[in-house]
């Protein structure tokens, strides 16, 4: 694992942040490169915030919200889903890799699922990084 | 003593200078108020003095400096740094100076690729450019990426009234406020709300309007399905009137750059479409939404795929 690497995870207050809390209480281990930012709803994460994190040097950004249909604000995560498509498409346009972004749904009772998502993201970024350094040498 | 004025151009097309000259008779009042000491478009004033007695690329001292155009090669950079040194107040004039403008569209490719495409494709010349030409930078920069800028005045070109108002305010030491609202805020077209949005399409046919009626009787162009960049573009192009492109019944092209200084017109426009339930993938050639604001590292060469 790259210790310098940072992954910003926007977690919604009602589901995924509660899941992260539960993961902590349950002593589940997840990579130390994750930095959680609590937001009230995944739907409030504007694409500019994701782009800002990447521009400031984050290796990856995750948005984690409630399962579809279970949003505390009825339709916030549907907004997040629409925005996630935009982010994935635009990342390639702006010179980033679309793998650097991930949208995941986690309920407050699923800390294992959250930790799994964190681990997957870290693994994916490690692969991406090794590909990029291989390109660099060539 | 009248304040002195330098007006230098870098990677620019002279449109900003011509816009200022378009001010009409009020321009003569301006000439009474300031003394122009360096203005390559209007007067013969050479770098390093008329007889070449000064240092190369040296410029006279001035109270107000206007710079149009972005920074693309070493000579631009040296001239810009000299302008910053000699001018008490530096104004970035036009979208090229503030956000990169049209020349920054080349930031989609590497400098080597651009030079190859422009200078060697279709010729038998071996050498890309003469060795005496200034070295290109790795991309096109806006001037605020290279030096401190006191006033940013976007527009392609900026309205003459706005340029004049800013210079007059500086001469009289008055406070002034640049427009900070989007194009939509000054647009009088009829908006019916989110449910009326049509899918976006290319601007291959005219907007639907009655030519005998004013613009305020026309339906919002975005709601008609034309990609109008009004929501993500700084306003001010029409002064207090209707924005200029809308006066001509065509969608906004985004020439004043993003509404907020750090904004990203591509991302904001896509977000605006997606949040209103419009399929953003119907928009071909998305990258061209950054056609006026590709500096600040926003436009980058595409990542090489394995």
Q: Which residues of B touch A43 (CB under 8 A)?
A: none
Distance from CA of B132 to the nearest CA of A (A): 31
Q: Taking residues B117-144, report their average pLDDT.
A: 82
Separation CA A78–CA A38 (nearest Å): 18
Share of chain B above pLDDT 70, in %: 97
Q: Return the residue in B106, B113, B274, B282 with the most chain A beta carbons within 10 A, the one to mutate for interface testing.
A: B274
Annotate chain B with three-state secondary structure: CCCEEEEEECECCCHHHHHHHCCCCHHHHHHHHCEEEECCCCCCCCCCCCCCCCCCCCCCCEEEEEEECEEEEHHHHHHHHHHHHHEEEEEEECHHHHHCCHHHHHHHCCHHHHHHHHHHCCCCCCCCCCCCCCCEEEEEECHHHCCCCCEEECCCCCCHHHHHHHHHHHHCCCCCCCCCCEHHHHCCCECCCHHHCCCCECCCCCCCCCCCCCHHHCECCCCCCECCCHHHCECCCCCCCCCHHHHCCCCCCCCCCCCCCCCCHHHHHHHHHHHCCCCHHHCCCHHHHHCCCCCCCCCCCCCCCC
Q: Is the pLDDT score of B285 beyond 80?
A: yes
Q: What is the pLDDT of residue A88?
A: 92
pLDDT digits (tens, 9 = 90+) for B218-245: 999 988 888 999 999 999 888 888 999 9
Separation CA A26–CA A19 (nearest Å): 10
A3: three-class secondary structure by DSSP: coil
Q: At what angle do helices A47-55 and B265-275 cross, to 10 degrees?
A: 150
Q: For residue B232, which of B196, B275, B198, B193 has the smallest C-alpha distance? A: B275
Domains assigned to chain A? 7-137 (3.40.50)
Judge contact between B10 and B16, C-beta under 8 A. no
Instruction: Give me the residues of B, 239-268, that contact A with CB < 8 A.
Output: 263-264, 266-268
Separation CA B46–CA B39 (nearest Å): 10
Q: At what angle do helices A16-25 and A111-137 cross, to 10 degrees?
A: 100
pTM of the model: 0.86
Q: Does B276 touch chain A (CB under 8 A)?
A: no
Q: Which residues of B touch A55 (CB under 8 A)?
A: 297
As given in the structure block, the two tokens for residue A16 are: 């995924």
Judge contact between B206 and B266, C-beta under 8 A. no
Q: Is the pLDDT score of A105 beyond 90?
A: yes
Q: Which of B264, B299, B304 is the closest to A48 by Cβ?
A: B264
Domains assigned to chain B? 4-171 (3.40.50.700), 179-295 (no CATH)
Q: What is the pLDDT of residue B195?
A: 66
Q: Taking residues A95-120, report their average pLDDT.
A: 95
Q: Is the pLDDT score of B127 beyond 80?
A: no
pLDDT digits (tens, 9 = 90+) for B54-82: 788 889 999 999 999 999 999 999 999 99
Q: Which residues of B touch A89 (CB under 8 A)?
A: 270, 280-281, 286
Q: Taking residues B157-170, report their average pLDDT.
A: 90
Residue of A nearest to B110 (CA): A95
Q: Which of B267, B270, B300 is the closest to A95 by Cβ?
A: B300
| Residues A46, B303: C-beta atoms closer than 8 Å | no
Separation CA B264–CA A96 (nearest Å): 15
A64: three-class secondary structure by DSSP: strand
Separation CA A10–CA A17 (nearest Å): 9
Q: Does A47 touch chain B (CB under 8 A)?
A: yes
Q: Return the residue in A44, A90, A96, A131 with the most chain B beta carbons within 10 A, the one to mutate for interface testing.
A: A90
pLDDT digits (tens, 9 = 90+) for A57-96: 999 999 999 999 999 999 999 999 999 999 998 998 888 9
Distance from CA of B245 to the nearest CA of A (A): 27
């Amino acid at each position: 694992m790259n210790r310098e690497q940072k992954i910003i995870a926007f977690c919604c207050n009602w589901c995924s942040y509660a899941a992260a809390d539960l993961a902590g209480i349950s002593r589940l281990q997840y990579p130390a490169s994750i930095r959680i930012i609590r937001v009230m709803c995944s739907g409030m994460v504007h694409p500019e915030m994701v782009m800002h994190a990447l521009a400031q040097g984050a290796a990856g950004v995750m948005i984690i919200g409630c399962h579809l249909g279970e949003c505390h604000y009825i339709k916030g995560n549907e907004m997040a889903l629409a925005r996630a498509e935009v982010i994935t498409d635009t990342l390639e346009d702006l010179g980033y890799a679309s793998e650097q972004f991930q949208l995941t749904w986690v309920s407050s009772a699923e800390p294992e699922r959250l930790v799994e998502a964190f681990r997957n993201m870290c693994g994916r970024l490690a692969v991406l990084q090794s590909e990029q350094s291989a390109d660099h040498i060539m | 003593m009248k304040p002195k004025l330098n007006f230098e151009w870098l990677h620019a097309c002279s449109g900003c200078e011509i816009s200022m000259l378009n001010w009409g008779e009020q321009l003569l009042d301006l000439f009474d108020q300031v003394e122009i000491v360096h203005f390559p478009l209007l007067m013969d004033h050479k770098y390093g003095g008329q007889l070449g007695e000064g240092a190369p690329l040296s410029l006279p001292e001035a109270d107000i400096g206007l710079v149009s155009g972005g920074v693309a090669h070493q000579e631009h950079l040296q001239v810009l740094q000299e302008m910053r040194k000699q001018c008490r107040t530096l104004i970035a004039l036009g979208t090229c100076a503030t956000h990169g403008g049209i020349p920054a569209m080349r930031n989609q490719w590497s400098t080597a690729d651009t030079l190859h495409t422009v200078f060697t494709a279709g010729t038998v010349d071996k050498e890309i450019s003469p060795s005496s030409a200034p070295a290109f930078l790795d991309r096109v920069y806006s001037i605020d990426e290279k030096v401190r800028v006191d006033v940013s005045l976007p527009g392609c070109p900026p309205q003459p009234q706005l340029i004049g108002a800013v210079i007059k305010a500086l001469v009289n030491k008055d406070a002034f406020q640049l427009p900070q609202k989007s194009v939509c805020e000054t647009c009088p077209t009829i908006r019916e709300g989110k449910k009326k949005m049509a899918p976006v399409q290319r601007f291959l046919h005219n907007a639907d309007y009655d030519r005998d009626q004013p613009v305020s009787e026309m339906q919002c162009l975005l709601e008609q399905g034309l990609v109008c960049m009004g929501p993500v573009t700084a306003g001010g192009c029409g002064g207090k009137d209707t924005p200029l492109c809308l006066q001509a019944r065509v969608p906004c092209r985004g020439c004043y750059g993003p509404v907020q200084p750090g904004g990203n017109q591509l991302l904001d426009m896509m977000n605006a479409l997606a949040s209103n339930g419009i399929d953003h993938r119907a928009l071909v050639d998305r990258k061209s939404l950054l056609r006026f604001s590709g500096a600040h590292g926003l436009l980058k060469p595409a990542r090489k795929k394995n």
